[in-house]
Structure 1
């Protein structure tokens, strides 16, 4: 135990040390202490806004992966995910994510009746964080029992602690041949042609950034399956990036590292709309099918999304009970 005199001395030393640090900062920056305090507070808030979405997304994935490991151990399961014993674990994960979407974003899914009973290639617009697509596959599974495979970036295969979650939902890092095989087995497969570039560098105008990509169209042709367009209203208002800043675009193009800051996590209203399927046509080329798919997705966007997007408007839509459903 410290005596009162020792405690007082310690407090004085702390104050002196703090005053000395304040003096140094003021000398270096030329800014008074109270201004530095407010600047630090603002930077802290910005840091939380920018880092929180990715941290929440990753921590949620790790948490769900941990629950699945507990489920696996408790039920003595192996890695055979076709085993019906995994269905309850899959339903548990889907229910948790679906509840998150409902509580935080008032998430709603429209048009599931347009998804065929058999295989199909689902093509969606890629938001800054594709949380809407996660909500979609979970709600689809809960409502219809249909399991949708998802093509994800190879970057995610290198992340530790989420392999079980990705195997169960399931996510694949597949090439063209594997994608065709998945579809030929009668499955649904989701893909975003815009990928990382669309996620980082599209904006509140929801431009499709597909470049010259047409591999997905060739996959649909080779597998002889329809393409189903998918678009989520307000996903850019929930999560945005700093991709408009030229330095971040330059940095990504030269390094291909996924280090573009994302901010948001705003509880905006999210509606996911399933468009009319584009049926398989043996006489169409991949280039023509890409164009038809792009038009279908842009039609969904123009019908359901007010452009440019507004965070405030998207927040207010949480309280709008009379939104028109097309």
Structure 2
């Protein structure tokens, strides 16, 4: 015991020569909130890889699992519901997640869902999970090509039908009677949008061509406080924009993972109108999505007020989903 005390004392004496322990502790306490804001996003990355591990195990042992639950459903359905239950539980606990306007999602038949893209599209993970569990439907999703280079993403995309998507492949998905989600702003909107919630679609009309060719309704979707959950660092914007335009992958650092209140508002479907051009339809959808944002989002967004939204007495009154 005496030997251990002597060794500890000698170690502290040695460290005190080269390190100011009081200053180090003060610096650690000062920087701890900053460290946390950059570490919290890793929790969500970990959740994605937990999902991958679950699906990978399910894929390896599917026959045993299927016999155990005695179901003859499609290959990925049981695995999807396991992962959906994990994400839905996280959504409810961490963000008090709610969906307003679930009745606007059709029980059967195709529809194109167009949504605002946050810094991380975690709201779409939550929404897809809720729809899988409550409506027994899957939202097919269009993802950026860089995702498919990430380890483990192949299994996730196979299970949840995430694909890069072309106009023809999207039309095919819809004609098979599925739900399909597209964010016209994509990674650009994710990286360079801010707490003013402006749409950054850069004249993209591909989604409108898909809807017109497939002859399906479009459902606008928006998640309240999405930009308060995760944000970009807010400096060197022009530099990162030039870098993004050169490499076409996300390069703008994000921070956050704050447990703010999330509520996804699902607007009423915009019916198929063959008289509209793709440009006209794009404008119509953008207007509908902006109305959702203006009706249900505090602008500019505030992290502090978004945290208070978790508590009903502090929640600001907003209109019901139109």
Report the TM range for the smaller structure's normalisation: 0.7 to 0.9
Match of 2:232 among 241, 263, 286: 241
Q: Deviation at 1:18?
A: 2.5
Match of 1:300 among 279, 282, 292: 292
SS at match of 2:309: helix
Match of 1:252 among 244, 247, 259: 244
**What TM-score do you get using the length of structure 1 for normalisation?**
0.86
Q: Does 1:271 align with 2:258?
A: no
Match of 1:118 among 97, 104, 109: 109
SS at match of 2:194: coil
Alpha-carbon distance in 1 for matches of 2:38, 2:244:
18
Match of 1:181 among 164, 172, 196: 172
Match of 1:72 among 53, 56, 59: 59
Indicate the residue corresponding to 1:18 in structure 2: 15
Alpha-carbon distance in 2 for matches of 1:6, 1:51:
35
Instruction: Classify 1:182/1:14 alpha carbon distance in 2 versus 1 (closer, same or farther; 3 Å).
Output: same
228-237 or 65-74, larger mean C-alpha shift: 65-74
Superposed, 1:140-155 pairs within 5 Å as 140-155=131-146
CA-to-aligned-CA distance 1:221-249 (integer Å, 9 cap, x gap): 11111111000111111111124533333
Q: Does 1:226 align with 2:210?
A: no
Match of 2:194 among 203, 210, 214: 203
Contact 1:243–1:249, Cα closer than 8 Å, also in 2: no
Q: Deviation at 1:260?
A: 1.8
Alpha-carbon distance in 1 for matches of 2:120, 2:113:
18
Alpha-carbon distance in 2 for matches of 1:204, 1:270:
14
Contact 1:240–1:262, Cα closer than 8 Å, also in 2: yes
Q: Deviation at 1:72?
A: 2.6
Q: Deviation at 1:162?
A: 3.1
Q: Does 1:88 align with 2:41?
A: no
Can you give the 5+ residue segments of structure 1 that lack an aligned partner in the other structure? Answer: 24-32
Contact 1:225–1:279, Cα closer than 8 Å, also in 2: yes
Q: Does 1:103 align with 2:100?
A: no
Structure with greater Cα Rg:
1
SS at match of 2:37: helix
Contact 1:200–1:242, Cα closer than 8 Å, also in 2: no
Alpha-carbon distance in 1 for matches of 2:248, 2:234:
13
Indicate the residue corresponding to 1:289 in structure 2: 281
Which consecutive aligned stretches of 4+ in structure 1 deviate over 6 angstroms post-superposition?
none
Q: Deviation at 1:44?
A: 4.9
214-223 or 110-119, larger mean C-alpha shift: 110-119
Q: Deviation at 1:257?
A: 3.5
SS at match of 1:318: coil
Counting matched residue pairs gives: 310
SS at match of 1:98: helix
Alpha-carbon distance in 1 for matches of 2:80, 2:4:
60
239-248 or 166-175, larger mean C-alpha shift: 239-248
CA-based RMSD of the aligned residues comes to: 2.5
Alpha-carbon distance in 1 for matches of 2:272, 2:173:
16
Alpha-carbon distance in 1 for matches of 2:174, 2:249:
30
Indicate the residue corresponding to 1:136 in structure 2: 127
Indicate the residue corresponding to 2:67 in structure 1: none
Can you give the 5+ residue segments of structure 2 that lack an aligned partner in the other structure? Answer: 65-71
Contact 1:201–1:243, Cα closer than 8 Å, also in 2: no
SS at match of 1:278: coil
